[in-house]
Amino acid sequence: MKNSNIQLIDESGKRVDGRYPNEMRRLRIEAGVLKNADGSAYIELGNNKIIVAVYGPHESTPKYLAEPDRAVIRCRYSMAPFSVSDRKSPSPSRREVELSMVIRQALEPAVFLNEYPRTMIDVFIEVLEADGGTRTASITAAAVALADAGIAMRDLVSAIAIGKVGGRLVVDLNGLEDQYGEGDMPIAMMPQLNYVTLFQADGVFTPQEIEDAFRMVADPIKKIYREQKRALKKKYVDVVREVEKSE
Ligand code: UDP
């Protein structure tokens, strides 16, 4: 994240991709896209394309990682070598290791971990194409994949970033805005319970801007939550149709 002379927002308030400050990118989520996983989801947020697979709850492997009173979530965020314009090395980078932890921590509060003692839940995130905001899109998709796996949850987790370009707060930075903007604040929430499960800030913000960011994020979080629910309902309507057809 660095300041630059690139004009990221024009006089009329339009951004480099034609969006207004409070507009998020086009969002599409599909649940249950993988046959061999217990739960799965595919998300497109603008040019981001990410697939998430959930396995579990299953017996803990290795056994010493098991907790007697709860499930352990393991999360692996991975960027495909072809997901960015410069080929990314296939070996896990420090960034991927950190994002795996951050995403896990954003999801954990939503899962009834105590329902599944001594087990493990694996969350595999594969970023196929990246264009800014992959951590928040991954959290949104992973919540759908966990629900699709039938895992008991308090709420879904819906996530998006609020960024700053040209001195203004904007919703959902794309890759270019992320690279040349002044900062970004990824936020994940349990939308029904109204709890924040992730808040990060990369850049310099005033306390007022942080307050404004939470006001600004409310509407996009509602939209994301609606799309998550739509994707989950559609999966089950499709399953019922298939069962009816086979009868
Ligand atoms: N990116 C890249 N190469 C990398 C890592 C990231 O081109 O090795 C790009 C990618 O588009 C990503 C963006 O930089 O979405 C911003 O990355 P950041 O670490 O801020 O995480 P994100 O915004 O994706 O959650």
Nearest residue (by CA) to ligand 1, atom 15, is 132
Query: How does strand 48-59 pair with strand 27-31?
Result: unpaired
Residue 10 lies in a domain: no
Residue 118 lies in a domain: yes
Domain count, the chain: 1
Provide the residue type at 234 as one letter. K
Task: Kindly list the distances between the CA atom of residue 177 and the CA atoms of 21, 134, 173, 174, 200, in Å, as whole numbers in the listed order.
Answer: 12, 14, 5, 5, 17
Tokens standing for residue 239: 């399953």
Residue 15 lies in a domain: no
CATH of the domain at 56: 3.30.230.70
Residue 232 lies in a domain: yes
| Atom of ligand 1 lying closest to residue 133 CA | 23
- Spatial separation of the C-alpha atoms in residues 80 and 90, rounded to whole Å: 7
Nearest residue (by CA) to ligand 1, atom 23, is 133
Residue 95 lies in a domain: yes
Condensed to tens digits (0 to 9), the pLDDT of residues 90-118 reads 999 999 999 999 999 999 999 999 999 99
Condensed to tens digits (0 to 9), the pLDDT of residues 211-246 reads 999 999 999 999 999 999 999 999 988 888 888 888
Residue 75 lies in a domain: yes
Condensed to tens digits (0 to 9), the pLDDT of residues 143-170 reads 999 999 999 999 999 999 999 999 999 9
Report the range out of 58-67, 201-210, 237-246 with the highest average pLDDT: 201-210
- Higher pLDDT: 246 or 88? It is 88
- Spatial separation of the C-alpha atoms in residues 124 and 108, rounded to whole Å: 15
Ligand 1 centroid to Cα of residue 61, in Å, is: 31
Residue 208 lies in a domain: yes
Query: How does strand 72-79 pair with strand 183-190?
Result: unpaired
- Spatial separation of the C-alpha atoms in residues 204 and 3, rounded to whole Å: 11
Question: Which range of residues forms the domain containing residue 158?
Answer: 27-246
What backbone phi and psi angles, to 5 degrees, belong to 149?
Answer: -75, 0
- pTM reported for the whole predicted model: 0.96
Residues with CB under 6 A from ligand 1: 84, 88, 95, 130-135, 175, 178
Residue 1 has pLDDT above 80, yes or no: no
Residue 19 lies in a domain: no
Query: How does strand 27-31 pair with strand 39-45?
Result: antiparallel
